[in-house]
Structures are given as C-alpha cells and as structure tokens.
Structure 1
Amino acid sequence: MLLNSRKTTHAVVTTLLVALSQYSYGEQMPPACAQLTRAFEICSTDFQAYQELTNPAAAKDNELDPKQLEGLLRVAIQKKGMQAVAEGCATEKMKNPILDSLVNTASAMAMAGGNPRRCMRAIQQIR
C-alpha cells in the first residue's frame, strides 16, 4: 500500500495533542499554526485525490481530515490562549514530526507516480 493514511492522521494528531498539552491555549489562528494547517490541508487533499484515482476503495476509508487539525488548534486556543498556542506551533518539537509526516506523504505519492508539487510547495513555505 502506498501509505497508511490512518497512521499518518494519527501521527499528526498525536503530535499536536502532545505538543499543545505542554503550552497554555482566541478566535484567530496564529501564523505558525496556520502554516501547519494549510500544508496539512493541501497535502491531505492531494493524497485523497491521488487515492481516488488509483485506489477508490482505500479512498473511502481515508481518514485524513484537514479540519480535524484546525479544530484541535482552535480548542487549544480557547483553553490555553493564543500566545501559548502560537509559541507551541513555532517550536521544532511540534513542527518537525508534522513536517516529517507531510514529507513522507509527498514522497510516497511521488514514488507511486502521483503529483506532490502543491504539497511540497506548502511544506517549503513553513518557517
């Protein structure tokens, strides 16, 4: 199988929960968090489209939901405050596992003949 999307989603969500639990948690999304959610949304959408073309049965079971990540961040902001969440999203401890997961998704798509260009551009824009 190209990539187990459930494992990818679980890894990203677990990383966020662990990282954000260490920080305090507004209405807006901090820029560092917005970059992560944007990249996750682009990469998961591209992966979903690729799966629908190559393996429609697996695409039905795909649990990559970009809104899940954004929802977690919004809950964190409400609970701990904007500043704490912004600081959390800017840490390497939080960014690196998410970036690794997204790069693995893009690499797997490329190796299987998919088109990960949008995903890779989104990853490169994360600072």
Structure 2
Amino acid sequence: MFCDIVAGSVPAFKVIDSPDGVGFLDVRPVFKGHVLVVPRAHVVTLPSLPLTDLPGYFNLVQRVTAAVPEALGAQGTFVANNNIVSQSVAHLHFHVVPRTKGDGLRGFFWPRHKYASDDEARDYASRIAAKLG
C-alpha cells in the first residue's frame, strides 16, 4: 500500500514528496498531524534500508520532525519505528506524532483521533507542507 502512495496511484494527504521518500498523514492518527515518513524504495525494516539511502531518508525524517511542531503549535514530537512486531504495513516507516505536555499519551498506548473530514486532513497536511517548503 505505501508503495502505491509513493507511486501516486493511491491518494494520500502528502506533506512532502522528495527523492528520499514521502511523508503523508496517517489515516489513523494518534493525534491530528501524525505523519508517516517512508523511503521511496520498498524495504520492510530499518536494517533492510541500504546504507546509501540512510542519510537522505533520515534527513527527511528529521525535517518532518522539525516541521510538525512549527506547523501545528505542538511543543514537540514522538518519533517511532516498528520492525516486524506491531508493524501494520510491511514497508519501512517512521511515525512523527505531534506532542503537547498533558496530551494524554502514555507509554506505548496509542489512542487514535480521527479527522472530522478530508478537508480537515487536507488543512493539517498543507500546514505541515508549508513548513517543509
């Protein structure tokens, strides 16, 4: 499924589309503005990512991590990756979740907060995309 988003054949609320990967809103966000960052190449786990792709991909994760709080007024982010266990899609992806003190996120219990509409999701995506240039 993520390969189809990267290829543009499946719609997504993209925040960035670069040679190093794609960032798009999670359809089941922990908090609104929760972004998934995937490498362009199909690899399942972080150890499978070619070393030559690592700097560009992690730069992309870093850029999204910086943009999310700026765009959404969050105080910080939670950045996470699952390898096989709890990995709901077999394509490497990092979660960049906006965080605010007192937001209720505890440990690895991830409550989900849905967007009210596609327009609301589009608004979140465009705000983050604007910070990414």
TM exceeding 0.5:
no
Bigger RCO of structures 1 and 2 (CA < 8 A, at least 6 apart): 1
TM-score (norm 1): 0.30
TM-score (norm 2): 0.29
Higher helix share: 1
Structure having the larger proportion of residues in strand: 2
